[in-house]
Amino acid sequence: MQTAINLWPLLGVLVIVLGFVLRFNPMLVVALAALATGLAASMPLETILATIGTGFIKTRTLPLIILLPLAVIGLLERHGLRLHAQNWIARFTGATAGRLLIAYLFVRETTAALGLTSLGGHPQMVRPLLAPMAEGAAESRFGKLPEALRIKLLALCAATDNVGLFFGEDIFVAFGAIALMHTFLLGSGIDVDPMHIAFWGIPTAICAFVIHAIRLHRFDQRLNRELTVLPPASAVDRELTQ
């Protein structure tokens, strides 16, 4: 006889979704979601508070690890880090946004393949350095970017970091995904050496690099096509066309 599954604790997920959509305080949303989940699961209020307190004690050093780099990055941005990055990349006449992002993709994927996954990231690399440099490279050639193209460029900066990390770390044999695939295959009766799994991640990583590099190159072509101002025709040219 099958037992009924209580789905009411999933209300906590709904609380999180609504809280983030309505842009409430994240800490308040998470606390309310935990409270709603516990009450829906018929847990006593004392047990809910004790569970939240235990989780906080076990991870009390986590906010320090997260907030310290953010504070340092915020201080650097306050003293002009983004402006200096834009001015520095603007000195290179041959630099384009696409070429810069392709170079970063190669470095990010290579370092991730060596296990150095913390060298990049959105808060510590993309926002304070990569995005301003890519924007500066584009503006040095075409001037102020239209808002739609600027948002597209920022999205490509974030996507470049994601692609490089995701496909690069699958080559590193000590990464958790390799162990997960090895365990899953072993449970299915397929014994594959983790080194072989990591090795056959190389073709996928190469394909991901080529495909995303083509996307970045096409974005450079789009900028040239939409933002390049043609010089006005001279009087001689107008007479010849007539």
Q: Are residues 183 and 125 in the same domain?
A: yes
CA distance 153 to 98: 9
In a domain? residue 115: yes
pLDDT tens, residue order, the chain (242 aa): 456 677 788 888 899 899 888 888 877 888 888 889 989 888 888 888 888 777 766 665 555 555 555 555 566 556 566 666 666 666 666 778 999 999 999 999 999 998 888 888 887 788 888 888 888 888 888 888 899 999 999 999 999 999 999 999 888 887 777 888 888 888 888 888 888 888 888 999 999 999 999 999 999 999 999 887 645 444 444 444 55
Q: Are residues 84 and 147 in the same domain?
A: yes
Q: pLDDT at position 233, please?
A: 46
Which amino acid makes up residue 44? P
CA distance 11 to 7: 8
Q: Are residues 88 and 15 in the same domain?
A: no
Q: What long-range pairs does 39-42 form, CB within 8 A, spacing at least 24?
A: 40/6, 40/8, 40/9, 40/10, 40/11, 40/12, 41/6, 41/8, 41/9
CA distance 209 to 52: 43
Q: Are residues 120 and 211 in the same domain?
A: yes
Q: Are residues 88 and 161 in the same domain?
A: yes
Give the residue numbers spanning the domain of 21: 8-58
Q: Which tokens go with 15?
A: 């609380």
Q: Are residues 174 and 95 in the same domain?
A: yes
Length of the chain: 242
pTM greater than the 0.95 cutoff: no
Q: Are residues 105 and 175 in the same domain?
A: yes
Q: Are residues 84 and 44 in the same domain?
A: no
In a domain? residue 184: yes
In a domain? residue 236: no
Count of domains observed in the chain: 2
